[in-house]
Chain A
């Protein structure tokens, strides 16, 4: 039973359709709150961790240990004037940050969060093809980037967007191939391999161990999707100012900022769900959610460490890497998994 069904059951006295409509509404609000809190927490962790890595203290003035700093910054972004460029494509310009935020929030809906003590299953919504849906949803975010780049009437933004598209194409194909291998491996064990929950259930041995190559490809892809250093050629603040977000300010910029951190978190969550067994672990019926969080946080910290210690890859080198290395690796992985499934190991 996921969250939506339970809300709908509680509200069932309203009748079938009203209860589901209201359920969707409440569920959306819960997810938005969850995503915002998670991202705020992540920004705080990021800033503290970054400060520690760089021999600084980090935020420590607002609230105890600077916890409220993120809130203060959020408020600052909200009340800031949104300066808009002259000659922009108005609709696209305003739509872009919303699309980014939308794609991010929707991505959070289909993650199987697993059970937590008496609270039961925390999964928000369920679908038999949630694996496909979730990749379709996070594929909305590049569209927002493209819109923001071509609509803001700025050459830096255009170049940044072109780089972003080139980057996206070069890693998305290997990423989907590695997911295909996951579906193959899962189909040997469960009847619903296109459901992320099915993928999690199939991982009595985590797929990261069965398919290390696919794991590698997927981690690289998720890092590139979140576009932090070394894969931040789209933004590349020292070359293109900030790429496609150059002309954004205020709350609209805040959405892009949320998008960046949210994608890191979402990406880490997807890696831990698809490859590391998600909520599976000892006492999974009581603390599955905790296991998921722990795995995700470890991945987030690893991502941040990579972010802070690597210079930026040049865009042509990344494209080379994507097509010449990632794609063959993904194919090899697919073949290996095929043999594993045939051999009945998986």
Chain B
């Protein structure tokens, strides 16, 4: 596959690759073949107009870290679950906190917050003034409401 990679050096000496999200999967697949056999971390940074998704890949042979950055404006990024198992929980966490939708994820639901939580807390436009209360319904599933009398 042909894709364009912008390579740069970050201030703390990590090698950073920038890629548009259409080619992310191909790039990571090639990197995995190159020996980056573990996905260390997926972070998302909300820059208000766009969300930057940062992947830290780890190479167990030379114990090196490589950064792959991509960005999205409509909160959609291809999922890496087909390549790395650890992407499963990481992507769920980022979906939970940032609302980034990882297309192709087998089980994309909230992981830390209860299902039904309103908003994505780590987004810059998250409304911190409203308190949400969690309760459990009859089936044992979590339920969220804004009513202080209904939950804790």
Classify A-B as touching or not with yes or no (CB < 8 A). Answer: no
- A residues within 8 Å of B by Cβ? none
- B residues within 8 Å of A by Cβ? none
